[in-house]
Amino acid sequence: MKNYLFLLKKLYNENFILIFINFYFISEYLIAQNLIIQKTIPNDKDEIFFETIELKNKEYLSLGWSYLQNGNETDFYLVNSDSLGNTNWEKRFGGYDKETGISLKEFKNGNLLICGTTRSFGNGAGDCWFVITDNKGNVINEFTYGGIGDDYLRDAIITEDQEIVFVGFTKSPNGLKDILLGEINQEGNLIWIRTFGGNQDDEGWSIKLASDKGYILSGFSAVINSSYTSKVIKTDKNGIRKWEFSKEQVYTPYNVTCTIENSKKEFIVVSTIKDTGTERNEISITKLDNNGAQIALKTVKKGFNAEVRWITETPNGYAIACSIEGKNKKRIFILFF
């Protein structure tokens, strides 16, 4: 079974939390990379976890999806763990078809935002599904966004006004995918919606709040079986595009491109590229100014096949989480620079 490192987040205590998908595995590391907690929770079902957050009470909350007994349908799967990684409680949310839990956030009042994609509810083949619960996972409200085609959610954040801004992709009239960006309130009322795309498949996979109250989107464009391009889009607070940056990359699972804004209001973009000489993957690190112009570029070779998963800023620079191709398995690597 392949295990992909998918998320590296800085915790309140300046530690890091590592998330794997295909089984539930939480490891917390100090910046010095000393292992503090390692926890594996076995289960008789196949679970995939996509995001884990630290709550204000120092507990952990993990979201993903769980396969049902017939092996086809899936439900949102939510697990609450104590500070040592021991399970406190778990919840499942779903219908008659497939639900995939992707993004998890905590409101100021302690309520939880659980969201992803549903094929059981809504208007179309796949719709964005938002579930708001109390801090024990009891449902307060739920709603969907989508048309008659596919609308998939890939990330969401909560604004200072406690509204929800989400990113993903939608099938355009020409059959291709466009990046989907929208804002919706806790009652399910849509505030605005934007799409970005062209003559190729475009998907949004990450969104972050920028210092100017706008948003920074990360994703990719793909001409299937041909070329892949990492894409970064900066918008204002209403989702209007201010600038866009693209860079050729190689295909990786989920085509992950990650972008953060640093303390100097610069943007750091990490993606996976190919060394044309060795045909092995490398890590590309690009620094952009606040107008999207490239001001620095660094390539990390290290002689291994790396796939970028996440980036976070540390007190001394940055940490990038990667998976590395080994003999018949993926290994985990954290690069500090």
- Tally of residues, the chain: 337
CATH of the domain at 50: 2.120.10.30
pTM for this entry: 0.88
Number of domains in the chain: 1
Domain that holds residue 189: 4-265
In a domain, residue 94? The reply is yes
In a domain, residue 117? The reply is yes
Sheet of 215-223: strands edge to edge? 201-209, 215-223, 227-235, 241-249
In a domain, residue 245? The reply is yes
DSSP states along 276-294: TTT--EEEEEEEE-TTS-E
Q: Tokens for 135? A: 């801090």
Query: Can you list the residues of the chain whose pLDDT is less than 50?
Result: 1-5, 21-24
In a domain, residue 310? The reply is no
The per-residue pLDDT for range 110-125, each reduced to its tens digit, is 999 999 999 999 887 8
Give the helix ranges, DSSP H, for 147-289.
none
Contact 106, 59 (CB under 8 A): no
The per-residue pLDDT for range 161-215, each reduced to its tens digit, is 999 999 999 987 778 999 999 999 999 999 999 999 988 899 999 999 999 999 9
173: Cβ contacts below 8 Å, ≥ 6 apart: none
Four-residue CA torsion sign, 98, 101, 102, 105: positive
Phi-psi region of 90 (alpha: psi -120 to 50; beta: other; left: phi over 0): beta
Within the chain, what is the greatest distance between any pair of CA atoms?
55
The per-residue pLDDT for range 279-301, each reduced to its tens digit, is 778 888 999 999 999 999 998 87
In a domain, residue 289? The reply is no
The residue to which tokens 């196949």 are assigned: 46
Q: 221 — phi, psi (to 5°)?
A: -115, 145
